[in-house]
Amino acid sequence: SRILVMHGPNLDLLGQREPDVYGRTDLETINRQLNRQADAAGVVLECFQSNAEHTLVERVHQASRDGVDAIIINPAAFTHTSVALRDALTGVGIPFIEVHLSNIHAREAFRRHSYFSDAARGVIAGLGPKGYELALEALIDNTQRD
C-alpha cells in the first residue's frame, strides 16, 4: 500500500522553532523514522512539506492520481484556516489521519478549532513526533487486516 505524509507551513523549521512547544526533533529525523517503519512493513511511504496552501492542495490531487491509499497530515496553521485543503481531502476521498505535535486543545483558543477533525479517520495531538509513528502504525495495521 501507498501512504503519503504531509507537513504544513513552518514545519520545515522543526528543531529550532519554539522548541518548548514543538520539541528539538527536526523534520528530517521524523521522516527518516517514518520511512524505517514503512520499509519494515513493506509500505511505500512518501513525505512532503510545503509552506504554501495551493501546493498542498495540488499534492492531495496528485495523491489521488497516484493511487495513494491513506494520508497522514499535519496541516499546521492551515488546520485552523483552510477550507481549501479540507475540501481537497474530502474531494479526493482518501482517508486521512490528522496529527499535531502539540496539544492544540491546551493552547490559544484559536487553535482549538480544526477544519479537518470531523472529516478525519482519527486525530492525534500532543504526543510530539510519536504521534506520526502511531498514525502510521494504525494505517499499517489496517492494511494488513484487509
Residue positions annotated with a catalytic role: 22, 100
- For residue 17, the minimal CB distance to ligand DQA (Å) is 8
- Cα–Cα distance, 91 to 109 (Å, whole number): 28
74 binds ligand DQA (CB under 6 A): yes
- For residue 126, the minimal CB distance to ligand DQA (Å) is 8
Dihedral (C-alpha) 20, 11, 48, 40: value to the nearest 10 degrees? -10
- For residue 103, the minimal CB distance to ligand DQA (Å) is 8
Please indicate if the annotation marks 136 as binding a ligand.
Answer: no
**Given 41, 77, 84, 123, the residue binding ligand DQA (CB under 6 A):** 77
- Cα–Cα distance, 118 to 68 (Å, whole number): 21
CB atoms within 10 A of CB 113: 11
Q: CA-based angle 139:10:55, to the nearest 5?
A: 70
114 binds ligand DQA (CB under 6 A): no
> What are the C-alpha distances in Å from 52 to residues 49, 73, 84, 121?
9, 14, 12, 24
Please indicate if the annotation marks 74 as binding a ligand.
Answer: yes
- Cα–Cα distance, 114 to 108 (Å, whole number): 13
Region near ligand DQA per CB under 6 A, out of 48-56, 65-73, 94-102, 137-145: 94-102
Tell me the per-residue interface mask from 19 to 58 with ligand DQA, x by CB under 6 A, - otherwise: ----------------------------------------
Residues of each annotated binding site: 74, 80, 87, 101-102, 111
